[in-house]
Amino acid sequence: MIPAALCAVVLFLVVYSGQAMIFNGLHFVTNINWDLGDLYSDPVTVRGISVPQGASYGILVFIVGTLVSSGIAILIAVPLSIGAAICLAEAVPHRIRPALSMLVELVAVVPSVVFGLWGIAVLIPFIGHYLSPTGNGYGLLAASIVLALMITPIIASTLLDALLQVPKENRESAFALGATHFEVVSKAMLPMVRTTLIGGIVLALGRALGETMAVLMVSGGGINILPTSLFSPISTIASFIVSQLDSAEADPTNMSVRTLSEIALVLFIITLAVNAAAKLLTSGALNVRKH
């Protein structure tokens, strides 16, 4: 059933978006213009395919929005989660460590729509009031911060598990050489778990790229323009698919629905590549540790 379901997902998306692929061509990923065309006049036929007049589908903006927001989220999340994991592994008393690490893991299970709600209620007014020059909090920075919060526990708990598995001998020999406690952690233990850390980061990247609701609620939904600053409104691929539901249904030729299906396919391929990379990295890390 599982392989059947997965193959069905890919197959149906490919078949359904076939016409859109022919119409859009490779221009699809480099064009920044998204225009559904004139939905009320008669459709025109281009390359044997019926499309609304003036329709132009370009998703470069959404690809850039996805990559940039996830990238900034990783930049915020990595130092936070390294710090949190070190703190949990070495600094907090053994008795409260399970409670604290459970709190960190619980951040990961909060539904993304609740994160979005929090973003609108707390984060957006904060950014709009103190940081943004225009007074508008919706945009790239808000999306990145929410994403960073959502992926931090993934990196932190991966790293924490790895840190707890560093052999006692390595720690003790570093202490014996006269290193301070912090030097033991940062110079003797962190390098040993580097591969696991990178695996965790890539895994978190995969999650951030596909995140939908929270981003949709705080990103400002910018289309047809590339982000120019931290406060530009953006759309990610995932959030764009949701926001286009109504207008796509109004298209009599169904071409925009087919194009959305092609977009979903692009997102699937990107996350698949990232997750495969994470899998390779983490399995490699396990092998290294066994030696």
Partner 1 sequence: MSASTSLKTPRTALELQRIVVSKLGWMGCGIALLLVIAPLLDIVGVVTINGLSAFSVQLFTKNTGGTTNGLLNAMEGTVVITLFAMLIAVPIGIGAGIHLSEYGRDRLSSTIRFLSDVLTGTPSIVLGYFSFVVFIIGFGWGFSLAAAAITLAILIVPYLARITELALQQVPNSMREAAYALGATDSKVVFKVVLPAASAGVITGTLLGLAISVGETAPLIYTAGWSDFTWTGHFTHSPVAYLTYVIWTFIDQPDAHSHALAYAAAFFVMLVVLAINISVRLVVKRQKFA
Residues 111-150 that bind partner 1 (CB under 8 A): 111-118, 120-122, 149
Looking at the Cβ atoms of 61 and 124, the one nearer to partner 1 is 124
Looking at the Cβ atoms of 17 and 229, the one nearer to partner 1 is 17
- Touching partner 1, residues 230-249 (CB under 8 A): 238, 241-242, 245
Write each residue from 267 to 286 as x if it is in contact with partner 1 (CB under 8 A), else as -, in one continuous string: xx--xx--x---x-------
Give me the DSSP letters along 134-194: TS---SHHHHHHHHHHHHHHHHHHHHHHHHHTS-HHHHHHHHHTT--HHHIIIIIIGGGGH
Q: Closest separation between CB of residue 277 and partner 1, Å?
A: 11
User: Token pair 């030696």 is at which residue?
Assistant: 291
Looking at the Cβ atoms of 76 and 133, the one nearer to partner 1 is 76
Q: Which of 3, 93, 133, 191 binds partner 1 (CB under 8 A)?
A: 3
- Touching partner 1, residues 4-33 (CB under 8 A): 5-6, 8-9, 12-13, 16
Q: Closest separation between CB of residue 228 and partner 1, Å?
A: 25
What number of CA atoms fall less than 13 Å from residue 78's CA on the CB side?
15
Distance CA 100, CA 281 (A): 27
The number of residues that bind partner 1 (CB under 8 A) is 73
> How far from chain centre, in Å, is Cα 269?
13
Both tokens of 163, joined, read: 């840190």
Q: Which of 22, 46, 106, 288 binds partner 1 (CB under 8 A)?
A: 106
Question: Does 35 interact with partner 1 (rule: CB under 8 A)?
Answer: no
- Touching partner 1, residues 37-76 (CB under 8 A): none
Question: Does 252 interact with partner 1 (rule: CB under 8 A)?
Answer: no
- Touching partner 1, residues 142-201 (CB under 8 A): 149, 152-153, 156, 180-183, 186
Stretch that binds partner 1, among 26-34, 35-43, 53-61, 258-266 (CB under 8 A): 258-266
50 forms beta bridges with: 45
Distance CA 83, CA 244 (A): 39
Q: Closest separation between CB of residue 122 and partner 1, Å?
A: 6
Looking at the Cβ atoms of 51 and 159, the one nearer to partner 1 is 159
CB 222 within 8 A of CB 232: yes
Looking at the Cβ atoms of 54 and 129, the one nearer to partner 1 is 129
53 forms beta bridges with: 38
Distance CA 20, CA 31 (A): 14
